Chains A and B, each alone.
Chain A
């Protein structure tokens, strides 16, 4: 059962009188275990997902979508010959961007040109292998779902979600959000008692990933499954079609990837040792604010 020590809220013990740094129990065991399980699952899901995408590097919007359906194809990653020179490109709608070296055309591990949507360093396996990528993708999809259910169940029962992640009334005011953005931009991270709770941008980022993006990526994933389309047609109805679900799956995965980049950057800027330790042992060092 949840105890006060499991939560982010301050334990009743007062900080030591002299302004000494002290360790604060920041993350419950279940939160720590599910965090790292989730990190491992998402690492494999993203890299196998890019390998799967490479099998058909186009996205469509509409009831059907295949190579011939140019009118429905809104995104394409490929390579083409321009004046005798091969170029990688990404096309979104009417806008085409040259991306040689990274997307569409990159360098294979053996040094040769590799006409493939996502480069080998970004995919698992590093070579084209749809069968293996799918097997790993669906294994880690099960891990993501079961781990996510354990986390959500715990967080609802213990109050972690409501107490620590849901913004409180007033926190969502434009003035408070603007204040938090300025603080982040100046790299002024909370100190002392203020470091014991999440601030509004953290709540929106973590809550957005946990309650919006991960559910969206799971539902759109299920929306691509023909057996699931039969059993739970409402998922298909929500997104409109399998090509739509596939498009939104890609968008959600990209936003999760963007979150990870910002998250890791913030961990590094805010003090990586203290931050990473708090997610391993649960203990977070509080440096009291100077009087």
Chain B
């Protein structure tokens, strides 16, 4: 009796162990594909195809704009909630009076712009949707000067190809994330097509009020035809560059260095 039962049990256990092993083998074979570098290159080719296609069908197209009635009642703060770096905290205490937007790199006229100077430029206000890579959507109103205006005033050199946005926050190293996962500050980059798009603005206000710290005070990027992680917060400076190689791991952004697409139009 006992032997029969334990035989049956062990046979059943053997069977389920076999099932787990077979399932595990399939899983690790699949995961091997996910980690394969040679396959990864082919898979990543889709990003360039998507960018070429979307530029072909709507290089200058405008993102849909909404009305005040459509605003999200509670626009989620995502990514960094509050930069902990001493430099940022000091500027925050002073109401960002000491903050300057540094515009440099491949420009004929490098600039350091204070908030009142940015607000004195022609302003654009737009109500747009914010599409997070995770899948959620929020609608907000943003006000600020067009990035194109600032780049024109700075004067691009002929070899300029990208604009890199240097940010104040160390997202991965944020205390709420356990700290020190990352030693690099957040950064992002655009090519000149998106940099000069009319809806690409450096927003200092959201929903009619100055940007909150959670949403990127004192200044954040809005590039309305790409996903949320391109909308860099806590922008400290713009570098106009020919290549993205000198920043982070060279992929053009904090999340791009962690496997996400540089072209985030989809």
Which residues of A approach B to under 8 Å, CB–CB? 47, 52-53, 55-56, 58, 60, 63-69, 109, 120-121, 124-127, 129-132, 134-136, 138-139, 141-142, 224-233, 236, 241-243, 246
Contacts and interface: CB of A to CB of B under 8 A. Distances in A.
A139 B46 CA distance: 5
Contact of B63 (A130, A132, A226, A243): A226
A47 B27 CA distance: 12
Contacts of A125: 30-31, 34
18 contacts: A64-B129, A65-B136, A66-B72, A66-B137, A68-B73, A69-B74, A109-B24, A125-B34, A134-B261, A135-B46, A136-B34, A139-B46, A225-B54, A227-B226, A229-B129, A229-B225, A230-B61, A230-B63
A98 B45 CA distance: 41
A135 B139 contact: no
A148 to B, nearest CB: 15
Nearest to B70: A63
Nearest to B58: A231
B131 A242 contact: yes
Interface string B47-66: 10110001001100111101
B47 A135 contact: yes
A243 B42 CA distance: 30
Nearest to A137: B46
A226 B265 contact: yes
Interface residues of B, number: 52
B134 interface: yes
Given A56-B132, A109-B24, A241-B137, A69 B54 contact: no
A229 B64 contact: yes
B66 A231 contact: no
B58 to A, nearest CB: 3
B15 interface: no
A136 B31 contact: no
Most chain A Cβ neighbours within 10 Å, of B27, B66, B136, B259: B136
Interface in B12-43: 23-24, 27, 30-31, 33-34, 40, 42-43
Nearest to A51: B34
B72 A64 contact: yes
Contacts of A236: 64
A139 B43 contact: yes
B63 A229 contact: yes
A138 B23 contact: no
Contacts of A231: 54, 57-58, 61
- By Cβ-Cβ distance, the 4 closest A-B pairs, closest first, are A231-B58, A227-B265, A131-B259, A68-B74
A98 to B, nearest CB: 23
Max chain A CB contacts within 10 Å: which of B34, B72, B73? B34
Given A131-B259, A135-B259, A126 B30 contact: yes
Contacts of A132: 34, 259
Contacts of A134: 133, 260-261
A131 B260 contact: yes
B224 A230 contact: yes
Contact of A242 (B27, B49, B137): B137
B44 interface: yes
B138 interface: yes
A227 B266 contact: yes
Of A52, A53, A121, A134, which is in contact with the most chain B CB atoms at under 10 Å from its CB? Answer: A134
A136 B54 contact: no
A136 B135 contact: no
Nearest to A133: B34
Contacts of B136: 56, 58, 60, 65-67, 243
A59 B204 CA distance: 31
Nearest to A52: B135
A193 to B, nearest CB: 41
B157 interface: no
A229 B43 CA distance: 24
A138 B137 contact: no
B181 to A, nearest CB: 15
B135 A246 contact: yes
B76 interface: yes
Given A63-B66, A64-B70, A64-B72, A228 B266 contact: yes
Interface string B208-249: 000000000000000011110000000000000000000000
A138 B258 contact: no
Nearest to B265: A227
Nearest to A129: B34
A195 B225 CA distance: 51
Given A64-B70, A68-B73, A236-B64, A227 B54 contact: yes
A139 B34 CA distance: 13
B57 A135 contact: no
A47 to B, nearest CB: 8
